[in-house]
């Protein structure tokens, strides 16, 4: 992980081969993703995900860089925040019938590949989160596979 962080912060290879991507995100949290580059290697990503009869809205700032000699494969690292609205179910967490609103911090670490002849990319990431308000605690299981249409 430290090696990926150092690579993302020091690489001068440009990662952007698209401006905006919109797609689906599948994992323990399923939902939608939109990623928009603001420069050649920085982007904002927005997520709308669902799990346990709830919904979560996440905003992330990401630094993205290509692997040397592999212009279509890149790594990214970022941070952001979320707000979630959940129903407790007492099987995984919370109390049955209790409504929870959570606010917290998020990190993200991932790999992304953009296809050469298709306007599509895929990414695989790990997105842990720390709930500071509401149902507090560290949730480490936020990994997902995303598929985006890019333009």
Helix (H, G, I), strand (E, B) or coil at 14: coil
Give pLDDT tens digits along the chain (151 positions). 544 444 444 343 344 579 999 999 999 889 999 999 999 999 999 999 998 778 999 999 999 999 888 889 999 999 999 999 987 665 566 667 778 899 999 999 999 999 989 999 999 999 999 999 988 889 998 899 999 999 9
Pairing relation of β-strands 20-27 and 144-150?
A: antiparallel
pLDDT at 90: 55
CATH number at residue 138: 2.40.160.20
Helix (H, G, I), strand (E, B) or coil at 2: helix
Nearest-angstrom CA–CA distance, 119 and 77 = 23
Nearest-angstrom CA–CA distance, 40 and 136 = 36
Domain carrying residue 46: 2-150
Number of domains in the chain: 1
């Amino acid at each position: 992980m430290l090696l990926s962080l150092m690579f993302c912060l020091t690489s001068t290879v440009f990662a952007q081969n698209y401006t905006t991507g919109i797609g689906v995100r599948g994992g323990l949290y399923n939902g939608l993703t939109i990623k928009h580059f603001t420069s050649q290697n920085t982007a904002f990503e927005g997520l709308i995900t669902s799990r346990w009869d709830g919904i979560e809205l996440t905003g992330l700032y990401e630094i993205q860089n290509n692997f040397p000699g592999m212009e279509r494969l890149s790594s990214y690292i970022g941070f952001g925040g979320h707000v979630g609205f959940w129903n407790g179910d007492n099987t995984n967490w919370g109390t049955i019938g209790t409504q929870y609103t959570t606010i917290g911090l998020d990190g993200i670490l991932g790999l992304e590949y953009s296809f050469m002849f298709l306007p599509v990319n895929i990414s695989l990431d790990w997105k842990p989160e720390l709930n500071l308000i509401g149902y507090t605690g560290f949730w480490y299981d936020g990994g997902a596979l995303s598929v985006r249409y890019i333009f």
